[in-house]
Structure 1
Amino acid sequence: MTPQEIAEKVGESIGTSEWVEMSQERINQFAEATGDHQFIHVDEEKAKMTPFGGTIAHGFLTLSMIPYLAANSDLPRPEGVKMGVNYGGNKTRFINPVRSGKRIRGHWKLVEMVEKRPGQWQQTTEITIEIEGEEKPALIAEWITQLFV
Protein backbone atom coordinates (compact mmCIF):
# COMPACT_ATOMS: atom_id res chain seq x y z
CA MET A 1 0.00 0.00 0.00
CA THR A 2 1.12 3.54 -0.58
CA PRO A 3 1.20 5.92 2.39
CA GLN A 4 -1.70 7.77 0.75
CA GLU A 5 -3.78 4.57 0.65
CA ILE A 6 -3.02 3.91 4.30
CA ALA A 7 -4.08 7.49 5.13
CA GLU A 8 -7.53 6.64 3.76
CA LYS A 9 -7.96 4.15 6.61
CA VAL A 10 -8.03 6.75 9.42
CA GLY A 11 -10.53 5.63 12.05
CA GLU A 12 -10.28 1.96 11.04
CA SER A 13 -8.72 -1.06 12.68
CA ILE A 14 -5.69 -1.81 10.53
CA GLY A 15 -4.04 -4.87 12.04
CA THR A 16 -3.69 -7.58 14.65
CA SER A 17 -0.55 -9.39 15.73
CA GLU A 18 0.14 -13.00 16.49
CA TRP A 19 0.01 -14.15 20.12
CA VAL A 20 3.28 -14.13 22.07
CA GLU A 21 3.98 -15.59 25.50
CA MET A 22 5.24 -13.35 28.28
CA SER A 23 7.41 -16.01 29.90
CA GLN A 24 9.20 -15.66 33.20
CA GLU A 25 12.46 -15.92 31.27
CA ARG A 26 11.50 -12.87 29.16
CA ILE A 27 10.50 -10.98 32.33
CA ASN A 28 13.82 -11.86 34.01
CA GLN A 29 15.78 -10.76 30.93
CA PHE A 30 13.95 -7.42 30.94
CA ALA A 31 14.73 -7.02 34.66
CA GLU A 32 18.41 -7.61 33.91
CA ALA A 33 18.43 -5.19 30.99
CA THR A 34 16.72 -2.39 32.93
CA GLY A 35 17.86 -3.00 36.49
CA ASP A 36 14.23 -3.22 37.64
CA HIS A 37 14.28 -6.24 39.94
CA GLN A 38 11.15 -5.42 41.95
CA PHE A 39 9.98 -8.67 43.55
CA ILE A 40 6.57 -8.63 41.82
CA HIS A 41 8.44 -9.31 38.58
CA VAL A 42 11.23 -11.70 39.55
CA ASP A 43 10.56 -13.38 42.91
CA GLU A 44 7.94 -16.04 42.29
CA GLU A 45 7.53 -16.98 45.97
CA LYS A 46 7.07 -13.42 47.28
CA ALA A 47 4.85 -12.51 44.32
CA LYS A 48 2.46 -15.34 45.25
CA MET A 49 1.61 -13.34 48.41
CA THR A 50 0.40 -10.33 46.40
CA PRO A 51 -3.05 -9.74 44.91
CA PHE A 52 -1.49 -10.79 41.56
CA GLY A 53 -0.92 -14.33 42.86
CA GLY A 54 2.42 -14.59 41.06
CA THR A 55 4.91 -12.63 39.05
CA ILE A 56 3.82 -10.08 36.47
CA ALA A 57 5.54 -8.52 33.49
CA HIS A 58 6.88 -5.00 33.82
CA GLY A 59 4.50 -2.48 32.26
CA PHE A 60 7.40 -1.13 30.23
CA LEU A 61 8.20 -4.66 29.01
CA THR A 62 4.65 -4.95 27.70
CA LEU A 63 4.96 -1.53 26.06
CA SER A 64 8.34 -2.45 24.56
CA MET A 65 6.76 -5.46 22.85
CA ILE A 66 5.00 -3.16 20.36
CA PRO A 67 7.73 -3.36 17.68
CA TYR A 68 7.87 -7.17 17.95
CA LEU A 69 4.09 -7.45 17.81
CA ALA A 70 3.96 -5.07 14.82
CA ALA A 71 6.57 -7.11 12.96
CA ASN A 72 4.47 -10.22 13.55
CA SER A 73 1.16 -8.76 12.46
CA ASP A 74 -0.97 -8.15 9.40
CA LEU A 75 -0.43 -4.38 9.52
CA PRO A 76 -0.19 -2.74 6.09
CA ARG A 77 3.42 -2.05 5.13
CA PRO A 78 3.82 1.28 3.33
CA GLU A 79 5.53 0.90 -0.05
CA GLY A 80 9.01 2.33 -0.38
CA VAL A 81 9.71 2.94 3.30
CA LYS A 82 13.43 3.49 3.80
CA MET A 83 13.21 3.99 7.54
CA GLY A 84 10.72 4.20 10.37
CA VAL A 85 11.44 5.75 13.76
CA ASN A 86 9.54 6.08 17.01
CA TYR A 87 8.53 9.69 17.50
CA GLY A 88 6.74 9.40 20.82
CA GLY A 89 3.45 8.78 22.47
CA ASN A 90 0.46 10.93 23.27
CA LYS A 91 -0.80 8.71 26.07
CA THR A 92 -0.25 5.31 27.58
CA ARG A 93 -2.39 3.56 30.17
CA PHE A 94 -1.41 0.34 31.92
CA ILE A 95 -4.81 -1.19 32.62
CA ASN A 96 -4.24 -4.82 33.61
CA PRO A 97 -1.06 -6.64 34.66
CA VAL A 98 0.26 -9.42 32.44
CA ARG A 99 0.91 -12.48 34.57
CA SER A 100 3.94 -14.61 33.78
CA GLY A 101 3.07 -17.29 31.22
CA LYS A 102 0.14 -15.38 29.70
CA ARG A 103 -0.02 -14.56 25.99
CA ILE A 104 -0.54 -11.10 24.56
CA ARG A 105 -1.30 -9.66 21.14
CA GLY A 106 -1.70 -6.19 19.70
CA HIS A 107 -4.52 -4.49 17.83
CA TRP A 108 -3.92 -1.28 15.86
CA LYS A 109 -6.37 1.47 14.93
CA LEU A 110 -5.19 4.28 12.65
CA VAL A 111 -5.75 7.66 14.29
CA GLU A 112 -3.85 9.88 11.85
CA MET A 113 -1.54 9.60 8.84
CA VAL A 114 -0.20 12.88 7.49
CA GLU A 115 2.65 13.87 5.22
CA LYS A 116 4.72 16.32 7.28
CA ARG A 117 7.02 17.14 4.35
CA PRO A 118 7.68 15.39 1.05
CA GLY A 119 8.63 11.78 1.77
CA GLN A 120 8.10 12.05 5.54
CA TRP A 121 4.86 10.66 6.95
CA GLN A 122 3.69 10.77 10.54
CA GLN A 123 1.47 7.89 11.62
CA THR A 124 -0.46 7.91 14.88
CA THR A 125 -2.05 4.65 15.99
CA GLU A 126 -4.03 3.53 19.00
CA ILE A 127 -2.55 0.25 20.13
CA THR A 128 -4.43 -2.08 22.43
CA ILE A 129 -2.49 -5.01 23.87
CA GLU A 130 -4.89 -7.72 24.93
CA ILE A 131 -4.22 -10.59 27.30
CA GLU A 132 -5.49 -13.97 26.16
CA GLY A 133 -8.56 -15.04 28.14
CA GLU A 134 -8.95 -11.73 30.00
CA GLU A 135 -11.62 -9.10 29.53
CA LYS A 136 -9.46 -6.04 30.24
CA PRO A 137 -6.45 -5.28 28.03
CA ALA A 138 -2.93 -4.95 29.40
CA LEU A 139 -2.52 -1.47 27.98
CA ILE A 140 -3.77 1.09 25.52
CA ALA A 141 -1.28 3.50 23.96
CA GLU A 142 -1.48 6.19 21.33
CA TRP A 143 1.86 5.99 19.52
CA ILE A 144 3.47 8.17 16.85
CA THR A 145 5.85 6.86 14.19
CA GLN A 146 7.73 8.77 11.51
CA LEU A 147 8.01 6.97 8.18
CA PHE A 148 10.49 8.05 5.51
CA VAL A 149 9.82 7.05 1.89
Structure 2
Amino acid sequence: MIEVKLDELADKKGTLVSHSPWLTVTQEMIEAFADATGDHQWIHIDIERAKKESPWKSPIAHGYLTVSLISRLNPQALKVTGPTATINYGLNKLRFPSAVKSGSDIRTKVQLLDVNQVDEHRYMASYLTTVEIKGEDKPACVAENLVMYVI
Protein backbone atom coordinates (compact mmCIF):
# COMPACT_ATOMS: atom_id res chain seq x y z
CA MET A 1 0.00 0.00 0.00
CA ILE A 2 1.08 3.53 -0.76
CA GLU A 3 0.17 6.34 1.63
CA VAL A 4 0.05 9.92 0.31
CA LYS A 5 -0.98 13.19 1.92
CA LEU A 6 -3.81 14.92 0.08
CA ASP A 7 -1.82 18.14 -0.27
CA GLU A 8 0.97 16.16 -1.99
CA LEU A 9 -1.27 14.10 -4.27
CA ALA A 10 -1.09 16.53 -7.22
CA ASP A 11 2.70 16.05 -7.29
CA LYS A 12 2.11 12.36 -8.07
CA LYS A 13 -0.02 12.84 -11.24
CA GLY A 14 0.97 10.38 -13.91
CA THR A 15 3.47 8.59 -11.67
CA LEU A 16 1.51 7.13 -8.77
CA VAL A 17 0.86 3.42 -9.30
CA SER A 18 -0.07 0.93 -6.60
CA HIS A 19 -1.57 -2.56 -6.36
CA SER A 20 -4.10 -3.95 -3.92
CA PRO A 21 -3.68 -7.39 -2.38
CA TRP A 22 -5.24 -10.32 -4.22
CA LEU A 23 -8.88 -11.18 -3.46
CA THR A 24 -10.57 -14.47 -4.33
CA VAL A 25 -13.96 -14.03 -6.00
CA THR A 26 -15.93 -16.93 -4.56
CA GLN A 27 -19.10 -18.54 -5.81
CA GLU A 28 -20.73 -17.39 -2.57
CA MET A 29 -19.90 -13.76 -3.43
CA ILE A 30 -21.34 -14.23 -6.93
CA GLU A 31 -24.56 -15.75 -5.58
CA ALA A 32 -24.94 -13.02 -2.94
CA PHE A 33 -24.55 -10.40 -5.67
CA ALA A 34 -27.14 -12.23 -7.79
CA ASP A 35 -29.56 -12.15 -4.85
CA ALA A 36 -28.88 -8.47 -4.15
CA THR A 37 -29.44 -7.43 -7.78
CA GLY A 38 -31.94 -10.02 -8.95
CA ASP A 39 -29.58 -11.04 -11.79
CA HIS A 40 -29.80 -14.84 -11.57
CA GLN A 41 -28.59 -15.57 -15.12
CA TRP A 42 -27.35 -19.15 -15.32
CA ILE A 43 -23.78 -18.16 -16.32
CA HIS A 44 -23.41 -16.79 -12.80
CA ILE A 45 -25.25 -19.23 -10.56
CA ASP A 46 -25.80 -22.60 -12.30
CA ILE A 47 -22.43 -24.25 -11.67
CA GLU A 48 -23.06 -27.49 -13.56
CA ARG A 49 -24.61 -25.80 -16.60
CA ALA A 50 -21.83 -23.21 -16.71
CA LYS A 51 -19.18 -25.96 -16.63
CA LYS A 52 -20.84 -27.64 -19.63
CA GLU A 53 -22.30 -24.81 -21.72
CA SER A 54 -20.52 -21.54 -21.04
CA PRO A 55 -17.47 -20.46 -23.05
CA TRP A 56 -15.54 -20.13 -19.76
CA LYS A 57 -16.43 -23.65 -18.54
CA SER A 58 -17.12 -22.09 -15.16
CA PRO A 59 -19.59 -19.70 -13.56
CA ILE A 60 -18.45 -16.10 -13.90
CA ALA A 61 -18.84 -13.01 -11.74
CA HIS A 62 -21.22 -10.29 -12.83
CA GLY A 63 -19.39 -7.39 -14.44
CA TYR A 64 -20.95 -5.04 -11.93
CA LEU A 65 -19.76 -7.24 -9.06
CA THR A 66 -16.25 -6.88 -10.44
CA VAL A 67 -16.49 -3.09 -10.70
CA SER A 68 -18.10 -2.84 -7.26
CA LEU A 69 -15.03 -4.51 -5.75
CA ILE A 70 -12.95 -1.47 -6.76
CA SER A 71 -14.31 0.34 -3.71
CA ARG A 72 -13.08 -2.56 -1.55
CA LEU A 73 -9.69 -3.05 -3.19
CA ASN A 74 -8.48 0.47 -4.03
CA PRO A 75 -8.32 1.64 -0.40
CA GLN A 76 -6.00 -1.34 0.20
CA ALA A 77 -3.73 -0.09 -2.61
CA LEU A 78 -3.72 3.63 -1.87
CA LYS A 79 -4.42 5.59 1.29
CA VAL A 80 -4.85 9.35 0.93
CA THR A 81 -4.42 11.02 4.31
CA GLY A 82 -5.92 14.35 5.30
CA PRO A 83 -9.54 14.19 4.08
CA THR A 84 -12.38 13.91 6.58
CA ALA A 85 -14.37 11.96 3.95
CA THR A 86 -13.59 10.05 0.78
CA ILE A 87 -16.54 9.71 -1.60
CA ASN A 88 -16.95 7.42 -4.61
CA TYR A 89 -18.03 10.05 -7.16
CA GLY A 90 -18.58 7.81 -10.18
CA LEU A 91 -17.00 6.64 -13.41
CA ASN A 92 -16.03 8.36 -16.63
CA LYS A 93 -15.30 5.17 -18.57
CA LEU A 94 -15.83 1.47 -17.89
CA ARG A 95 -14.95 -1.65 -19.87
CA PHE A 96 -15.00 -5.40 -19.13
CA PRO A 97 -12.36 -7.00 -21.40
CA SER A 98 -12.44 -10.42 -19.69
CA ALA A 99 -14.72 -12.40 -17.38
CA VAL A 100 -13.81 -13.33 -13.81
CA LYS A 101 -14.32 -17.06 -13.28
CA SER A 102 -15.60 -18.22 -9.92
CA GLY A 103 -12.60 -18.89 -7.66
CA SER A 104 -10.30 -16.46 -9.50
CA ASP A 105 -7.99 -14.08 -7.70
CA ILE A 106 -8.24 -10.42 -8.66
CA ARG A 107 -6.47 -7.24 -7.61
CA THR A 108 -6.54 -3.60 -8.64
CA LYS A 109 -3.77 -1.59 -10.18
CA VAL A 110 -4.40 2.07 -9.34
CA GLN A 111 -2.89 4.92 -11.36
CA LEU A 112 -3.48 8.59 -10.51
CA LEU A 113 -4.54 10.44 -13.66
CA ASP A 114 -5.39 13.85 -12.22
CA VAL A 115 -6.44 15.74 -9.12
CA ASN A 116 -7.94 19.21 -8.88
CA GLN A 117 -9.24 21.43 -6.12
CA VAL A 118 -12.99 21.92 -6.62
CA ASP A 119 -13.46 24.46 -3.85
CA GLU A 120 -11.96 25.23 -0.46
CA HIS A 121 -13.22 21.93 1.01
CA ARG A 122 -13.16 19.45 -1.89
CA TYR A 123 -10.67 17.84 -4.26
CA MET A 124 -11.59 15.61 -7.21
CA ALA A 125 -9.19 12.87 -8.26
CA SER A 126 -9.46 10.60 -11.27
CA TYR A 127 -7.79 7.20 -11.26
CA LEU A 128 -7.29 4.58 -13.93
CA THR A 129 -8.14 1.37 -12.14
CA THR A 130 -7.37 -1.93 -13.81
CA VAL A 131 -8.81 -5.09 -12.25
CA GLU A 132 -6.25 -7.79 -12.98
CA ILE A 133 -6.96 -11.53 -12.91
CA LYS A 134 -4.11 -13.71 -11.61
CA GLY A 135 -2.71 -15.83 -14.42
CA GLU A 136 -4.64 -14.03 -17.19
CA ASP A 137 -3.31 -11.67 -19.85
CA LYS A 138 -6.43 -9.54 -20.22
CA PRO A 139 -7.86 -7.55 -17.31
CA ALA A 140 -11.37 -8.11 -15.99
CA CYS A 141 -12.20 -4.43 -15.83
CA VAL A 142 -10.69 -1.09 -16.77
CA ALA A 143 -12.34 1.95 -15.23
CA GLU A 144 -11.64 5.63 -14.91
CA ASN A 145 -13.05 6.19 -11.47
CA LEU A 146 -13.57 9.47 -9.67
CA VAL A 147 -13.00 10.11 -5.99
CA MET A 148 -14.05 13.26 -4.11
CA TYR A 149 -11.91 14.11 -1.09
CA VAL A 150 -13.52 16.38 1.51
CA ILE A 151 -11.41 18.30 4.01
The one-letter amino acid paired with 1:33 is A
Equivalent in the alignment of 1:55:
59
Q: Confirm or deny that 1:8 pairs with 2:15.
A: no
The one-letter amino acid paired with 1:39 is W
Partner-residue secondary structure (3-state), 2:73 = helix
Partner Cα separation in structure 1 for residue 16 and residue 139 of structure 2 = 16
Equivalent in the alignment of 2:107:
105
The one-letter amino acid paired with 1:62 is T
Identity %: 39
Q: Which runs of 4+ in 1 moved over 2 A?
A: none
Partner Cα separation in structure 1 for residue 87 and residue 9 of structure 2 = 17
Partner-residue secondary structure (3-state), 1:100 = coil
Equivalent in the alignment of 2:40:
37
Partner Cα separation in structure 2 for residue 71 and residue 88 of structure 1 = 15
Q: 1:85 Cα deviation (Å)? A: 1.2
TM-score, normalised relative to structure 1: 0.94
Partner-residue secondary structure (3-state), 1:76 = strand
CA deviation vs aligned residue, 1:48-100 (integer Å, no higher than 9, x gap): 21111110000000000011102322x13232x11111211110000100000
2:49 to 40, 46, 52: 46
Structure 2 unaligned blocks of 5 or more = none
Partner Cα separation in structure 2 for residue 63 and residue 12 of structure 1 = 23
Higher normalized helix content (fraction of residues): 2
**For this pair of structures, how many residues does the alignment match?**
147
Partner-residue secondary structure (3-state), 1:53 = coil
Kept in 2: contact 1:13–1:107 (CA 8 A): no
Partner Cα separation in structure 2 for residue 108 and residue 71 of structure 1 = 10
Equivalent in the alignment of 2:23:
20
CA deviation vs aligned residue, 1:12-51 (integer Å, no higher than 9, x gap): 2332100000000110010011110000000011112111
Partner Cα separation in structure 1 for residue 54 and residue 18 of structure 2 = 35
